[in-house]
Structure 1
């Protein structure tokens, strides 16, 4: 009986970790792109079409599976009440994923419990759980594949899970590919069910995209590649790498080009990994998988100049795993090692993420959301168009039809970028004549001020500084310490 109770300790750790992280719901820190997915889900609910603006089909969300999950949460809880249940669901799935990972790498139940909690309070783990993105589901599915497919040898997992993973994000072909290659070298044979699962997954995603949207890859990938494409020399590439790598491997975004904490962490992660794999244990297969995947994923995305930090959340977590294993399995002075890790890393990281979540939540929920709410009450005709960037909070809460500057939710922008990238913004305004423009700039002092003065009027200015006050003095200090958001000007067409 005592042994059965001990085996439940990691499960209790899952519950404690989820409950602890739910405190972050109070910060209202939700990623902008989550609202794009949720609007797509609600468009499916309202129009029966996977799109963003009425009956027009478009893969405006990066993730198909999460769109359907969000659709069912909207259906069950209603549009007004689905967000919190969905965020809790994401947090639970991520933490169960960390339970699978602990079972792959650790034997001692107390070590598993500590591992689950310390992984769960890392900044990227908090963001995966609470920010509304698809990575909670993704982490759960990926760790489930490793646990049931490659640890337990379950054929159903090898066949079913790859398609689900690929329907969550098509770029997970990197994860599946790394697992396949390492498994091939490790076991000197191919797992036919896994190959079948991969074929079904890639074939299914590509077929779905082609038959439903008329494209092979998601529109979001095409749009970002087109909008953010820059031709760099080798020297510029190296400079770009040095400017940005520190903010993605280190879990901590700091101003400036050089982040010394990242270098220290990278070196320590490598030392811990080398120390662990030299022990020649069965779990080494999984250590190689997560570590190689972490590096490959980050190098691929950084080489493509992908600066959205959510691409790096899962790799950041997996690369940190060897550090936790090293500390937990010290035979001498383990408690000292653990205390040092918690005191000098876990607590500072948690404190940083808390401040970041409070400040960014204020900038997103209390500020950017108000722009959408203002438009929702100001404009009753929801068939009117707004041209803006980004396409998250404001379109979601205003309910207006939307043109975004990247072309994520409206493909016609991509046509303008291809024709004349330098002047696509003005050309889009002239050809589409949206009723509203939301701009970071003062259009009446711009190069084309004459056109905008003739056709638009300024109806409201939105300023970050107006949202840095709070009755709670501690919150106000955090808002002022780390103001979040951008100033906007809202224009309405007058002809």
Structure 2
């Protein structure tokens, strides 16, 4: 009887961790790009088209599978009430994924329970669960592939899950490839079911893109590469990598190219990994998979100057797994080491993320969302266009048709970038004549000031400093400690 209760501990840990993390819903910190996916899902609901602006097809979201999941949540709960249920669903899936990971690398039920909770309250785990992105689903699918496909030997899993994983994000080919290589090296044989699953996954996402959108690669990838690509010298590339390393390898972002916390944690992760794999246990098979993936994914994306937080969430967590295993399985002074890890790393990281979530949630939900709500009330004709960046909160809550600076949701911007990259913004304004412009800059200053003054007037100024007040003094201190958001000027066409 006692053994059965002990075996249920990891399940209890999943429930407790999910409930604990639901407190972060109160911060209203939702990633800007989640609203792009959700608007695409609602476009499917309203127009029957995977797009962003009415009946125009465009792969504005990075993820196909999550678009359809979001579509069903909109269908079931309605546009007004789907967000919280979807965030809870994401959190549950992610935490179940940590349960599967715990089964792969640990034996003791108590160790599994502690592992699930501690990894679940680290900053990347909180962001994966609550920020509305597709990584909760992705983490669950990847861990389910390892557990049911490679640990339990379910052949249908090896065929089906690579397809779902690739449809979630096309860059998961890195994860699937690392798993394939480690499996061959470890077992000295080829799993043909897995090869079939990988081929079907690649064919499914590429054929869907080609047949539906007329493109092989998602528009989001093409647009970012086009706008952000620069010809750098070796020294500039190296500097960019070092800055990225300091900000993205670890869980704590600090200004500058050197982050001592990241370096210390990286060394500790490596030492723990080396110690564990020397024990020649069956779990080394999976430790090699997740650790190599973490390193390779980080290096590839940093070298490509992919400076978006969410690309690094899963690798950050997987690279930290050996540290937790090492501390949990210590024979001597385990409680002391565990206490030190919690007090000096995990707890500070959780506090850091709490402050970050509260401050950023204020900047996004209480500030940027209100720009969209203002426009929603002010402009009743939802066929009017707005040019802005980014294409998340404001388009979603305003309901206006949108041209974004990067070209994620409107391909014509990419045409202007190809023609004249340095002047594509003003050329887009002159050619498209959107009714609204939302800009970080004062458009009535600079080389093109005369044109803007002749054709647009300033409708409203939005300032971050106006949203740093709260009746709760603690919240107000947090808002002022880490102001989040960007000052905007909203212009309206006069002719």
Shorter-chain TM-score category? over 0.9
Match of 2:131 in 1: 131
Whole-Å separation in 1 of the counterparts to 2:210 and 2:433: 31
Shift of 1:7: 1.1
Match of 2:229 in 1: 229
Match of 1:487 in 2: 487
Whole-Å separation in 1 of the counterparts to 2:239 and 2:221: 25
Shift of 1:270: 0.2
Shift of 1:445: 1.1
Aligned pairs (5 A) from 1:234-313: 234-313=234-313
Match of 2:202 in 1: 202
Secondary structure of 1:437's partner?
A: strand
Post-superposition, which runs of at least 4 consecutive aligned residues in structure 1 deviate over 6 A?
Answer: none
Equivalent residues of 2:246, 2:256 under 8 A apart: no
Whole-Å separation in 2 of the counterparts to 1:140 and 1:64: 16
Aligned pairs (5 A) from 1:184-199: 184-199=184-199
After superposing the two structures, state which structure 1 stretch, 256-265 or 353-362, moved more: 256-265
The answer to whether 1:436 aligns with 2:410 is no
Shift of 1:273: 0.2
Whole-Å separation in 1 of the counterparts to 2:247 and 2:454: 44
Shift of 1:257: 2.1
Shift of 1:241: 1.3
Secondary structure of 1:447's partner?
A: coil
Whole-Å separation in 2 of the counterparts to 1:6 and 1:354: 31
Match of 2:352 in 1: 352
Shift of 1:235: 1.2
Secondary structure of 1:444's partner?
A: coil
Aligned pairs (5 A) from 1:156-195: 156-195=156-195
Shift of 1:425: 0.4
The answer to whether 1:392 aligns with 2:392 is yes
Equivalent residues of 2:60, 2:219 under 8 A apart: yes
Match of 1:338 in 2: 338
Whole-Å separation in 2 of the counterparts to 1:286 and 1:8: 23
Whole-Å separation in 1 of the counterparts to 2:223 and 2:57: 15
The answer to whether 1:143 aligns with 2:143 is yes
1:245-281 deviation line (CA, Å, top 9, x unaligned): 1111110111222111010000000000000000000
User: Size of the alignment, in residue pairs?
Assistant: 495
Aligned pairs (5 A) from 1:368-447: 368-447=368-447
Whole-Å separation in 2 of the counterparts to 1:249 and 1:303: 12
Shift of 1:2: 2.3
Whole-Å separation in 1 of the counterparts to 2:242 and 2:80: 44
Secondary structure of 1:422's partner?
A: helix
Equivalent residues of 2:244, 2:305 under 8 A apart: no
1:134-184 deviation line (CA, Å, top 9, x unaligned): 000000000000000000010011001000000000000000000001101
Whole-Å separation in 1 of the counterparts to 2:275 and 2:246: 24
Shift of 1:6: 1.4
Aligned pairs (5 A) from 1:312-323: 312-323=312-323
Secondary structure of 1:445's partner?
A: coil
Shift of 1:40: 0.1
Secondary structure of 1:100's partner?
A: helix
Match of 2:31 in 1: 31
1:359-387 deviation line (CA, Å, top 9, x unaligned): 00000000000000000000000000000
Whole-Å separation in 2 of the counterparts to 1:75 and 1:280: 50
The answer to whether 1:76 aligns with 2:76 is yes
Secondary structure of 1:368's partner?
A: helix
Equivalent residues of 2:100, 2:147 under 8 A apart: yes
TM-score of the two chains, using structure 2 as the length reference: 1.00
1:5-52 deviation line (CA, Å, top 9, x unaligned): 211110000000000000000000000000000000000000000000
Shift of 1:109: 0.1
Shift of 1:328: 0.2
Whole-Å separation in 2 of the counterparts to 1:178 and 1:351: 34
Whole-Å separation in 1 of the counterparts to 2:76 and 2:136: 20
Kindly report the root-mean-square deviation, in angstroms, between the aligned alpha carbons of the 2 structures: 0.5
Match of 1:92 in 2: 92
Whole-Å separation in 1 of the counterparts to 2:432 and 2:135: 35
1:67-119 deviation line (CA, Å, top 9, x unaligned): 00000000000000000000000000000000000000000000000000000
Secondary structure of 2:422's partner?
A: coil
Match of 1:65 in 2: 65
